[in-house]
Amino acid sequence: MPRLFAQLFQRKPVGELIKELDSGDRLHRRLGPFELMALGVGATIGVGLYVSTGEVAREFAGPSIMVSLLLAAVGCGFAALCYSELASMVPVAGSAYTYAYATLGELVAWIIGWDLILEYAIGSCYVANGWSNYFDSLLRNAFHLHLDPRLLSPPWDFDFATRSFVQKMVTLQDGTQALAWFNLPAVLITAIITAILVVGIKESAGFNAGMVLVNVAVVLTVIGVGSFYVNSDNWQPFLHKDTGMSGIALGAARIFIAYIGFDSISTHAEEARRPQRDLALGILGALVVCTVLFVGTAAVLTGMIPYQQISQSAPLASALQSKGLLFAGGLVTVGILAGMTTSLLVGNLSQARVLMAMARDGLLPTSFFAEVHPRFKTPWKSTILVGVIVALGGALAPLGFLADLVSIGTLFAFVIVSAAVWILRATDPDVPRPFRVPYAPFVSIMGVLVNGGLMFWLGRDNWIRLLAWLAVGLCIYFLYSRRHSLLGHRLREPQASLLREELPEPAMPD
């Protein structure tokens, strides 16, 4: 039992992590601060901005969604500073998983790694599932092409009233009802993204940067045009009539899915050209850009029409069209497709890096998840596996009800990262820190309190789902990962050697 506890809480020394940078088959360092920032913005501006803002404003926060977004940004800001320090100290793949391994031990590192798998996998499936709806809308409105409805939806849906899965029926062009087959566009976009990711990080970053420019241009256009139709009377009353002040905190927890993405920059620390400088610029820059765009969009949205009338499925397009701006539908659809495409790309990209980091430590099969392609220098096997899982999830699973689970998983990771900076300052004070969190440990403590507090606003059901997912992960850890852990082998080897020395040598026959 003492040996078991020793392994569960054995930390991976920071010095060892740094030495690993110069050994083995590593990833190419090709990303500068602009590419890193674009990856963060691309992962962040997507379905959260284009869809979740309408739902949160109408159901929870009203015009005070602007404050909700700022409150969520504050929690992200504390975490971003902590991410920046840790990423500059330990510029290897793995993000919060690697930082937890260096500060809190193997068991907590596994829990965080398993949590990140949930965040990126479910998030990507959710995005791929929703991408097809807007793609179909673009085909119908711009090119007058109609896809078979049976190829646009999973074969079942989730009924929130009965908390059960039901068959998904769709209406065909002849007016008859039929059972949906699967979501074909979700499979196609995931296959394209997977191919781009396998080819190389530079090509992936270039594609992402182009999509980000389109996305940001659309958001700025919507804000600029919509600002001429803002009526300040729509901001009164500022608080939601049903939730009041509590709606601000509830809205911040619910809208947090909009900020998921900037932390993915730290998963690419091993591919940054100058990680000690570029990672902090990329992480903080992405957060600032996204916060400004989010708050500006929320102000225009709630100022154009009363929050009770905001559409939950297409809030920006509906608000602009209500003012006679008919071009808005197509414009926002292009922006949504660009945003969702980049979110899917960065989500799949980050997922493969986390799996690779866990495999390098022996917690997952090394020969599969840690293998780097000899030519493209990408973790190609894990990238393809992630693509297959996301394609299947996007095609077959109704994942909208798991959006809050993605948020609670991300908040959990932010809490661990914030605590890790505080712990490392005490346990490893002499390790070089190219970027240092100012006003530590105050920033670390606030990161734990703010993000931890937002977790509790997500409700019991999301906690149950999170705990169930973590329980599955613990089963895998104790059945496989603990036995194959490289640190665990090192811990057992001295004891095995000592046992061999104590055993008497066999007597030789006369």
pLDDT in tens, 41-69: 877 787 677 777 888 888 889 999 999 99
Cα 316 from Cα 53, distance rounded (Å):
9
Residues 6+ apart with CB under 8 A from 299: 66, 230
DSSP 8-class letter at 378: S
**SS3 label, residue 30:** coil
**SS3 label, residue 171:** strand
Structure tokens at 61: 């926060």
Percent of the chain with pLDDT over 90: 19
Taking a C-beta distance cutoff of 8 angstroms, is the pair 397, 180 a contact?
Answer: no
Three-state SS annotation for 343-376: HHHHHHHHHHHHHHHHHHCCCCCHHHHCCCCCCC
Q: Would the pTM count as exceeding 0.75?
A: yes
Alpha-carbon torsion (255, 452, 414, 402), positive or negative: negative
Per-domain residue ranges of the chain: 2-493
**pLDDT value of residue 506:** 46
Cα 369 from Cα 347, distance rounded (Å):
17
pLDDT means per 10 residues, the chain with 510 residues, are 71 74 61 79 76 83 93 89 81 73 86 84 82 81 83 78 75 83 92 87 67 83 88 91 88 80 71 76 87 92 91 76 74 79 82 87 91 83 93 81 70 86 84 84 92 84 85 93 87 53 47
Q: Of 3, 6, 20, 10, whose CA–CA distance to 102 is shortest?
A: 10
Pairing, β 177-179 against β 169-171: antiparallel
Taking a C-beta distance cutoff of 8 angstroms, is the pair 447, 84 a contact?
Answer: no
DSSP 8-class letter at 169: E
**pLDDT value of residue 94:** 65
CA dihedral 176, 180, 184, 186 (to 10 degrees): 120
**SS3 label, residue 164:** strand
**pLDDT value of residue 503:** 43
Q: Of 384, 372, 380, 368, whose CA–CA distance to 27 is shortest?
A: 372
**pLDDT value of residue 403:** 63
Structure tokens at 463: 């906690």
Q: Of 446, 468, 485, 434, whose CA–CA distance to 109 is shortest?
A: 485
Cα 429 from Cα 419, distance rounded (Å):
15
The architecture in CATH of the region 2-493 reads Up-down Bundle (1.20)
Q: Of 154, 207, 212, whose CA–CA distance to 185 is shortest?
A: 154
Dump the DSSP string for 45-93: SSHIIIIIHHHHIIIIIGGGHHHHHHHHHHHHHHHHHHHHHHHHHS-ST
Q: In which element (H, E) is residue 170 found?
A: strand 169-171
**pLDDT value of residue 4:** 65
Termini Cα distance of the chain = 43
Structure tokens at 492: 């057992």
CA distances to 41, 181, 233, 408 from 294, in Å: 11, 36, 21, 20
Cα 476 from Cα 443, distance rounded (Å):
34
Q: Computed over its alpha carbons, how large is the radius of gyration of the chain?
A: 24
Dump the DSSP string for 211-272: HHHHHHHHHHHHHHHHGGG--GGGG-S-S-TTTTTHHHHHHHHHHGGGGTTGGGGGGGGGGB
Structure tokens at 44: 């962040």
Say what angle helices 96-103 and 106-143 make with each other, to 10 degrees: 170
